[in-house]
Amino acid sequence: MHRVLGDRRAVLILLGPALLVYSLIMLVPTLWSLGYSFTKGNTIDGFTGNGLDNFHRLFTDPDVRHALWFTAKYAVTVTVGQVVAGYLLALLYVFFLKKASALIRTLVFFPVVLPTVAVGLLFKNLFQVGPQTGPVNSLLNAVGIESIDFFGSSGHAFWVLIVMDIWRSMGFYAVLLFAGLVDIPDEVLESARLDGASGLRLIRHIVLPMSFPVLMSSLIFSINGTLKAFDSIIALTNGGPGNSTSPLTLYMFQTSFTYSDYGYGSTIALLLTVVCLMVTLVVFRASRRDLTKD
């Protein structure tokens, strides 16, 4: 029987095309890009090798340091915000709305599927000062606070970005974590209640530990996504004012396509890849260790 399911020709026919396309589009370019990081130039002017110059530049470039710092700050803030907001929503769904939560879940999830560019443009207008005062500043004016030029300073722009990304994605983490919370057996909750645990104590000692694995999945997913954030930033601030809200992804894009420096662009992309891998591995290992303690 194994002969049928082990038919090599059939495996080749079924798997071959996918493996070919995947290799050509993902694997080969990844290695190729690695090669580019030892060169200078671009497609039109041609490439010349320049040894480790790009790496030397990478470590001394203040813009890289700035972009790396921004990426870290952004990823940590958005990740914490997304997962906390998502967890609170999930708790709301499970413990307060119960069966009636479907409608709210659907509604809060909706921004997740919206095109980021559209959301970015929408938020730009929601928070604007001129030529027309947007709703947010109008609201501030109404309570007697002067309009804030949200996109005039990096501090404000950063927070608008954070608010937008949490708005956009909290429904997703809410549903993800909701699925984890629903899996907690009712008997466990009931017996804990009988033992006198309630409210905060119930959440801290029963609900949190039992939803720990799905919280970890959310963290890994969120960090992985926020480190690669690009669309939302380009649509909302385009890295500005100056380059103050420019993460590694955007810096890489600008280096490559605005300044046509493919070699250095590849080096920045490599840095981004290494950061993504390291962070994921660290979070993953941390979650593994804690799980075995249980």
Range 3-62, binding other proteins (CB under 8 A)? 4-8, 10-11, 13-15, 17-19, 21-22, 24-30, 32-33, 36, 43
We find the least distance from the C-beta atom of residue 59 to other proteins, in angstroms, to be 19
Alpha helices in the chain (DSSP H): 2-5, 8-22, 28-36, 53-60, 62-91, 101-113, 116-126, 135-142, 154-182, 186-194, 199-202, 208-210, 212-227, 231-236, 248-253, 262-293
Quick one: which segment of 52-60, 64-72, 147-155, 199-207 binds other proteins (CB under 8 A)? 199-207
Distance, CA of 8 to CA of 72 (rounded, Å): 47
Quick one: which segment of 48-56, 65-73, 91-99, 150-158 binds other proteins (CB under 8 A)? 91-99
Q: Which of 72, 92, 129, 140 binds other proteins (CB under 8 A)?
A: 92
Count the Cβ atoms, other than its own, within 10 Å of residue 286.
13
DSSP codes joined into one string, 194-206: HTT--HHHHIIII
Distance, CA of 168 to CA of 122 (rounded, Å): 12
Cα distances (Å, whole numbers) of residue 284 to 41, 210, 219, 247, 258: 38, 17, 9, 24, 36
Query: What is the total count of residues that contact other proteins (CB under 8 A)?
Result: 114
Would you put residue 132 in left (φ > 0), alpha (ψ -120 to 50) or beta? beta
Cα distances (Å, whole numbers) of residue 287 to 129, 182, 210, 283, 294: 44, 21, 13, 6, 11
Site for other proteins contains 198 (CB under 8 A)? yes
We find the least distance from the C-beta atom of residue 7 to other proteins, in angstroms, to be 5
We find the least distance from the C-beta atom of residue 73 to other proteins, in angstroms, to be 17
Owner of token pair 């994605």: 169
Quick one: which segment of 68-76, 144-152, 154-162, 227-235 binds other proteins (CB under 8 A)? 227-235
Nearest Cα residue to 257 out of 268, 242, 271: 268
Closer CB to other proteins, residue 245 or residue 249?
A: 249
Q: Which of 62, 131, 144, 185 binds other proteins (CB under 8 A)?
A: 131
Q: Which of 67, 157, 215, 283 binds other proteins (CB under 8 A)?
A: 215
Quick one: which segment of 51-59, 62-70, 101-109, 154-162 binds other proteins (CB under 8 A)? 101-109
Q: Which of 72, 156, 212, 244 binds other proteins (CB under 8 A)?
A: 212
Q: Which of 148, 149, 228, 243 binds other proteins (CB under 8 A)?
A: 228
Closer CB to other proteins, residue 20 or residue 52?
A: 20
The answer for residues whose C-beta is within 8 angstroms of residue 229's C-beta and 6 or more apart is 74, 75, 78, 165, 247, 249
Q: Which of 48, 113, 143, 187 binds other proteins (CB under 8 A)?
A: 113
Q: Which of 72, 167, 184, 240 binds other proteins (CB under 8 A)?
A: 167
Q: Identify residues 141-160 at the interface with other proteins (CB under 8 A).
A: none
Which residues partner with 126 through β-bridges?
none
